[in-house]
Each structure stands twice: as structure tokens, then as C-alpha cells.
A and B are shown apart, each in its own frame.
Chain A
Amino acid sequence: MKNFSNLYIFSFASVLVIIVATLLSFVAEQLKPLQERNVEIEKKLDILRSVDMTAGIEEAENRSTFIEELFANNISESFVVNSKGELIDGRDAFAIAKELKAEMQMPLEERGLPIFVASDPEAGNRYIVPVLGKGLWGPIWGYIAINDDYNTLSGTVFAHAAETPGLGSEINTDKFMDPFKGKKLFDESGNFVSVTVVKGGAEPNDPHGVDAISGGTITCKALEKMLWDCLNPYVNYFKKQMN
């Protein structure tokens, strides 16, 4: 075995590290715009999915531009409210939805609450709000679409970063998400009760409960907490609109 001097070892290590660092930062900088665009398109797609406006995406030649066009055509308006239910001017709803985590760490009074409006001449307007919470292994998030009675859910989309495959990860399947359609956020006397995930299965006519996933209890409970925490700040706004 050849003997290398200490100086050689140090210089070899330094040169190697410098080359590697330059290469990686160059590549990261080059790919960053593409990656950010992917994340953005993913969010737009999720918003569209929550109101079932995804027709034609699979057949589209350029998936990304198609999603962007679809989003521009269908999501007619977006605005930001605060927890008192007042409109806030000058803030971009999509920018908040992108950085929802940072927004949620702010005190409730200062938080901007984004709402996206999907207009549909037949079904009326639907209002989409983003939600974000902590799952079992990582973040879970989603978009909740609400009918123009500000009470009935018209659709939901959930996603997760690292929930257990086959158990908690099932929250993003249609089998779990479809039953949310038609559930109500407020009870008959107008109190906010959110939607709960019922272990062992919800009663078929329960307006506030959906079936839990067996084996995915912690994820389901986290999802329930996410819905409550993220929808609760909107209550004042919803109530104002109802009256």
C-alpha cells in the first residue's frame, strides 16, 4: 500500500469536497425553477381535484400547462379573510396556500385565511380552503371544497408525505375521501362541529361523521384534528356569509 502524507490527505479531501459542493449547488440552482413549478402545479391540481374539475388532464399533451389553464379557467377568484371574517386586501391567496405552515405559526388574529372560488353556472359557487396538519410520520394536508351554503362539503382532497403505506396512506384514496361529500360542518343550531372520523364506521345518516381506516387510527385522528384546527378560524366568515 502506498503511503500518503498527511498534507496529501488533507488536500485530497478539500479538493474533493470543493468539487462536489460546486457541482451540487450548480445542479440545485439549475433545477430549482422546475422543482418549484412542480410543487405549484401539484397544489393547483389538488385544488381542482377537490371540486372535481380535472376532466381531460390524463389526455392532455402537456400536463403542466393544461393544469395551469384549467386552474385559470375554473378558479375564478381567490381572496383572503381574517379570523373575524373580514376581507384582507393586498394578500395573495395562492402565495399563502403555498406557505401555509409559516402562516399557521402566526397568531390567529394576524393570520390570513385563503379562500379559492370555483364558479360553476350549474352547481353554483364552491369555496375551497387549504388545510394542513401533522400526521403520524410527517405532514398531512388537503383542500376542502364547501358548497355555497357555507356548510355542506362538496369534496375533499387529502395528501400526505409519509403515512404508513396501506394504512394511514389510504387517506388519499377515493374510498376514504368520497364519503366526505355532503357532510356538514355546522349542526342544526348553527354550532361548528366539523367532521369527525368514526372508528368502527359512521352511521349512514350521520351528517358529521365518516368511516375511519382500520389500522390507521393515528392518521385518522390527526386528520380530524387538522380539519377542526384549520376550519375553525373560518367559522366567523362562514357565519357572516350565511346570514
Chain B
Amino acid sequence: MSEKEPLFSPKNLKLLKEPLNDNNPITVQVLGICAALAITVQIKPSIVMALSVLAVLSISNVVISLLRKLIPPRIRIIVQLVVIATMVILVDQILQAYAFEVSKQLSVFVGLIITNCLIMGRLEGFAMANKPWPAFLDGLGNAAGFGMMLIIVAFFRELLGSGTIYGYQVIPESFYDAGYANNGLMILPPMALVVVGIIIWIQRGRNRKLIEEN
């Protein structure tokens, strides 16, 4: 009998940590950019979006991993989509019932989690070939890496675009009196792309593993 692998073996921990930096879904794999552009105008919806993706991705990963030997390969993508869509609708319904304000803010974007390529990517690339526990950790790790980036991008966009952080005014009134103005461009999606670009630039500059050899 082979020795049972401990729950938090180095291999499993790696699944959790790698997406936070070396293999970040947004800045390295460049997945899930659409969501990063759309809902990062303010921090609050970004946090809810991050949590929703966390729930959807980790649960879907476990479900697919449990079913992986039963799913006929020919219809596996459809099966994955059905599982994701189910989770997303559940999250949406629960938000509407228990967090109405937030669900109003996120509006259509909760539904759009279904089309988030990150989730499909993890189900197809990882959960189909691994046991439930590693799949769960992989889901958590990737969603955390994704959510972290959303919140970082939202931080800068909210600060520069609206002068607030988490809805609280942080730029003092005297700045505005002295001629400072909120940058309306930060609120529009193109600036999210620019912010993500700058983050990628900084990350690649600091993390040697990501520097490609030419």
C-alpha cells in the first residue's frame, strides 16, 4: 500500500501558491481579462466578483474532478459548461436573495462568469486529470490569483478615477480646490488594460522566472 499523501504536501501547496505570482491567471496566462476590464471600476464589486469566481471555480473543479472518469470525452466541454453555468446561476440567485445591493452593482457580470476563460481553462486543463483535493486547491489558488489582480487594478482605478477607496473619499477636498480633477479615463475599460499592462511589466521586471529567453 502506498503511503497516503499529506493534505498539504509541498506539491499541493504549490498548486495554491503558483497562481498568485509565477502563474497568475491574469498577468501570466492572460485569462479572464474581460472581467478584469469590466468590473474593476470600484473595489467593492471587484471583491464580490473575486469571491464569486472563487466559489464557482473551486466547486466546479471538485465536481468535474469527481466526474472525470464518467464524463465521455466527446462531450466534455459541454459538461464543463453545464457545471459552470449551474454554479454561476446559484451564485447569482444567492446574491439576489442575500446581497441585493451588490448583485445590482454587478448586474450582468455575474452571468458573464460563465464565459470567463479562466474557469473553462482550469476545468479542462487540471480538473479533468486530477483528484478532487488537488483540483480544489488549484481552483482556490487560481481564483485567488485572479481576485488579487482584480482588487489591485480596482484600487488604482477607483483611487484615480473617483478619488475614493472602497467608497470612502480619500483625496481631500482641498486638492480639488487646488485644481486636481478625477481622471475620467480611469473609469473606462481601456485604462484597465493599461493598468494590467503596467502590472505585468512590473511583475516581469521583478520575477526572473518570467523573463523569456530570446
Interface of A toward B, CB cutoff 8 Å: 1-2, 4, 8-9, 12-13, 16-17, 20, 23-24, 27-28, 31, 34-35, 38-39, 42, 161-162, 165-167, 215
Give Cα A20–Cα B184 distance, bound, in whole angstroms: 43
Sampled A-B contacts (6; CB under 8 Å): A9-B72, A27-B93, A28-B93, A34-B98, A38-B96, A166-B162
Q: Is the CB of A162 within 8 A of B108?
A: yes
With A12-B71, A34-B98, A42-B100 already in contact, the answer to whether A162 and B41 are too (CB < 8 A) is: no
- Residues of B contacting A17 with CB < 8 Å? 82
With A38-B96, A38-B100, A42-B100 already in contact, the answer to whether A20 and B72 are too (CB < 8 A) is: no
B 186-207 binary contact with A (CB < 8 Å = 1; else 0): 0110000000000000000000
B67 closest partner in A (C-beta): A16
Q: Is the CB of B187 within 8 A of A165?
A: yes
Interface of B toward A, CB cutoff 8 Å: 41, 70-75, 78-79, 82, 86, 89-90, 93-94, 96-98, 100, 107-108, 161-162, 184, 187-188
- Residues of B contacting A167 with CB < 8 Å? 184, 187
Give Cα A28–Cα B78 distance, bound, in whole angstroms: 23
With A38-B96, A165-B187 already in contact, the answer to whether A12 and B70 are too (CB < 8 A) is: yes
Secondary structure class of chain A's binding surface, majority of residues: helix
A159 closest partner in B (C-beta): B104
**Measured between C-beta atoms, what is the minimum distance from A182 to chain B in Å?**
25
- Residues of A contacting B98 with CB < 8 Å? 34
Q: Is the CB of B100 within 8 A of A23?
A: no
Give Cα A23–Cα B85 distance, bound, in whole angstroms: 12
Give Cα A167–Cα B79 distance, bound, in whole angstroms: 40
- Residues of A contacting B188 with CB < 8 Å? 166
B93 closest partner in A (C-beta): A31
Q: Is the CB of A166 within 8 A of B187?
A: yes
